Amino acid sequence: MAWQQLIARVPRDKVAEVESLLELSGAASIALEDAADTPLFEPLPGETPLWRSVSVKALFEEGVDADGIRAVLRGVLGEGGDVRVEPLADADLSCAPLAPMRIGGKLWIVSADDAAPDDDGALLRLNRGLAFGTGEHPTTLLCLDWLAASLGPGTVVLDYGCGSGILALAALRLGAVRAFAVDNDPQAIAAAEANAALNGLADKIWVGPPDALPAVRADVVLANILARPLTELATLFHARLVTGGRAILSGVLAAQRAEIERAYAAGFEIEGVAERDGWLRLDARKRLPV
Half-sphere exposure of 135 (CA within 13 A, CB side): 29
Residue 87, domain CATH = 3.30.70.120
Largest CA distance in the chain: 60
> Is 124 among the domain residues?
no
Contacts of 187 (CB under 8 A, 6+ apart): 1, 28, 61, 129, 130, 131
- pLDDT band for position 34 (cuts 50, 70, 90): low
Residue 150 three-state SS: helix
Contacts of 76 (CB under 8 A, 6+ apart): 14, 17, 18, 21
Q: Are 84 and 218 in the same domain? A: no
> Is 122 among the domain residues?
no
State percent of the chain over pLDDT 70. 82
Q: Are 136 and 276 in the same domain? A: yes
Does 89 have pLDDT greater than 50? yes
**Under 8 Å between Cβ of 106 and 173:** no
Q: What DSSP designation does 211 have?
A: G
Strand pairing category for 40-41 and 218-224: unpaired
**Can you state the angle between helices 138-150 and 166-173, rounded to 10 degrees?**
20
Does 60 have pLDDT greater than 90? no
Q: What CA–CA distance (Å, rounded) separates 25 from 17?
A: 12
Contacts of 91 (CB under 8 A, 6+ apart): none
* Residue scoring higher pLDDT (205 or 63): 205
Residue 205 three-state SS: strand
As for how many domains the chain has, the answer is 2
Q: Which of 169, 146, 143, 157 is nearest to 225 (CA)?
A: 143
Q: Which of 231, 226, 214 is nearest to 268 (CA)?
A: 231
Q: Are 201 and 88 in the same domain? A: no
Domain boundary among 37, 67, 93: 93
> Is 19 among the domain residues?
yes
Q: Are 174 and 248 in the same domain? A: yes
- pLDDT band for position 282 (cuts 50, 70, 90): very high
* Residue 236: predicted pLDDT: 97
* Segment of 54-63, 64-73, 191-200, 202-211 carrying the highest mean pLDDT: 202-211
Q: Are 204 and 71 in the same domain? A: no
Half-sphere exposure of 148 (CA within 13 A, CB side): 20
* Residue 80: predicted pLDDT: 62
* Segment of 35-44, 53-62, 64-73 carrying the highest mean pLDDT: 64-73
Range of the domain at 42: 3-93
Does 31 have pLDDT greater than 70? no
User: Which residues are paired to 102 by β-bridges?
Assistant: 108
> Is 101 among the domain residues?
no
Residue 217, domain CATH = 3.40.50.150
> Is 107 among the domain residues?
no
Q: Are 179 and 270 in the same domain? A: yes
Contacts of 101 (CB under 8 A, 6+ apart): 108, 109, 110, 135, 136
**Under 8 Å between Cβ of 204 and 177:** yes
Domain boundary among 93, 120, 150: 93
SS3 percent helix, strand, coil of the chain, rounded to 5, is: 30, 35, 35
Q: What CA–CA distance (Å, rounded) separates 35 from 33?
A: 7
- pLDDT band for position 15 (cuts 50, 70, 90): confident
pTM: 0.68
Q: Are 63 and 144 in the same domain? A: no
Q: What DSSP designation does 13 have?
A: G
Q: Are 59 and 142 in the same domain? A: no
* Residue scoring higher pLDDT (176 or 137): 176
> Is 109 among the domain residues?
no
Mean pLDDT for all residues in the chain: 83
Distances (CA, A) of 57 to 4, 10, 31, 47, 67: 10, 10, 5, 17, 16
Does 186 have pLDDT greater than 50? yes
Q: What CA–CA distance (Å, rounded) separates 71 from 67?
A: 6
Domain boundary among 28, 63, 93: 93
pLDDT in tens, 92-147: 444 445 678 888 888 988 887 777 777 777 899 887 654 455 667 888 999 999 99
